[in-house]
């Protein structure tokens, strides 16, 4: 009988600190609170770019501020699948189903291309908007090719054109959500791609990873906690009681950032300038100010700063989305980054296959 050999190789739970890919797409500087897309600062991209321009930058490396990408029609097979879903289905499940059916109806040759990425990124907002209307007993709205992707999504969601300020606010959210390094859903997409599977399969897997509450669900929880705070005058009492109970303050702290999340800074500017900003934005700012002060007082050893989810909530509410649509809308924004990583992974591919340390019994015989 052979004993199992001890494994002295280092183990990093959650692969924390392990470099598993090289990328030219996004740079996340957690210590200094910086985020770059192909070298460009996220604040500059929000101020001067549009989501189609940022998506094209990620796919091709080219900066074209006039790049146009409208939403595209929902194929009949996808519409049939969406109509078959129960109205109580979660939007993330509907989006995952739609992308899967879309992929089954396409000829997605290897390697994945920017053209495939454009097609999928243009399709998914139409599919989510169609489901959102169907569950309310309304018929889907055909896309308007004269509109760029984000105002086109709002048009298909509501049946009327959004005003420029509302469309611009959601476009800013899409920009900051487009790419963020090797997060869980992006890593999932790259793992699937490394097997030489197709682009749609990679995005279906990414949606599944993003659906988890530890990855994509925080903005809707921010909405609930801001309501629970009640008023600016009650903010400090509520923050201290929440921390004392051991409850987590949603929208604060990040796996990577040790400084103020630059995406949150960009979205706070957007939220404060919105024409239809939520009435409780003043409360949100008050809660943030108190929370940062109290967290620094109680946990001076930990850098718990505002993250993107905190100001994503008022922006998404301000453009008229219901909280249950927040995670799926995040998934729409992340399509640009997911598909760019898929293309990059395929360009220098090696199947991703890490090892595991065995901790079970030694070799043994079956009982007689």
Burial of 233 (0-12, 13-18, 19+ CB in 10 A): exposed
Q: Could you tell me the maximum CA-CA distance found in the chain, to the nearest angstrom? A: 76
Q: CB atoms < 10 A from the CB of 237, how many?
A: 13
Using the CB atoms, write b or e for 72-96: b if 16+ within 10 Å. Answer: bbbbeebbebbeebeeeeebbbbbb
Candidate list 180, 254, 335, 341, residue with the active-site label: 254
Report whether the peptide linkage leading into residue 111 is cis, meaning its omega lies within 30 degrees of zero.
yes
Helix (H, G, I), strand (E, B) or coil at 358: coil
Phi, psi of 164 (to 5 degrees): -60, -40
Count Cβ atoms below 10 Å from residue 102 Cβ, excluding itself.
23
Which candidate, 362, 347, 340, places its Cα nearest to that of 118?
Answer: 340
Name the nearest CA neighbour of 115 among 350, 332, 329, 342.
342
Nearest to 314 by CA among 282, 349, 346, 351: 282
Q: CA-CA distance, 227 to 280, in Å (whole number)?
A: 8
Instruction: Kindly name the residue from 288, 309, 335, 344 that is annotated as catalytic.
Output: 309
DSSP string, 200-222: HHHHHHHHHHHHSTTTS-HHHHH
**From its phi and psi, is residue 146 left (phi > 0), alpha (psi between -120 and 50) or beta?**
alpha
Handedness of CA 39, 346, 331, 212 (dihedral sign): negative
- Whether 254 is catalytic is yes
3 is catalytic: no
- Rounded (10°) angle between helices 76-84 and 91-104: 150
The residues annotated with a catalytic role in the active site are 254, 309
């Amino acid at each position: 009988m052979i004993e199992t050999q001890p494994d002295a190789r280092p183990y990093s739970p959650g692969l924390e600190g392990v470099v598993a890919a090289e990328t030219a797409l996004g740079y996340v500087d957690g210590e200094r609170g910086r985020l770059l897309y192909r070298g460009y600062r996220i604040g500059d991209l929000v101020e001067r770019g549009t989501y189609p321009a940022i998506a094209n930058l990620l796919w091709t490396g080219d900066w074209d501020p006039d790049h146009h990408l409208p939403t595209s029609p929902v194929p009949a097979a996808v519409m049939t699948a969406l109509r078959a879903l129960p109205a109580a289905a979660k939007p993330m499940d509907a989006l995952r189903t739609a992308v899967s059916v879309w992929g089954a109806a396409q000829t997605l040759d290897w390697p994945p291309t920017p053209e495939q990425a454009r097609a999928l990124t243009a399709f998914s907002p139409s599919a989510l908007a169609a489901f959102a209307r169907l569950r309310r007993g309304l018929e889907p709205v055909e896309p308007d090719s004269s509109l760029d992707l984000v105002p086109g999504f709002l048009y298909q969601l509501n049946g009327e054109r959004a005003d420029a300020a509302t469309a611009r606010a959601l476009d800013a959210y899409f920009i900051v959500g487009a790419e963020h390094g090797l997060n869980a859903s992006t890593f999932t997409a790259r793992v699937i791609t490394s097997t030489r599977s197709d682009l749609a399969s990679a995005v279906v897997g990414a949606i599944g990873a993003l659906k988890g509450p530890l990855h994509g669900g925080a903005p809707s929880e921010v909405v609930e906690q801001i309501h629970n705070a009640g008023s600016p005058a009650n903010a400090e009492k509520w923050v201290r009681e929440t921390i004392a109970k051991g409850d987590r303050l949603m929208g604060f702290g990040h796996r990577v950032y040790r400084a103020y999340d630059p995406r949150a800074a960009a979205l706070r500017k957007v939220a404060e300038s919105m024409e239809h900003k939520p009435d409780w934005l003043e409360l949100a700012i008050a809660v943030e100010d108190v929370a940062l002060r109290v967290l620094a007082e109680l946990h001076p050893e930990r850098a718990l700063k505002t993250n993107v989810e905190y100001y994503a909530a008022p922006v998404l509410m301000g453009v008229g989305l219901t909280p249950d649509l927040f995670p799926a809308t995040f998934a729409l924004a992340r399509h640009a980054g997911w598909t760019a990583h898929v293309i990059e992974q395929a360009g220098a591919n090696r199947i991703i296959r890490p090892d595991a340390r065995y901790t079970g019994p030694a070799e043994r015989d079956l009982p007689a």
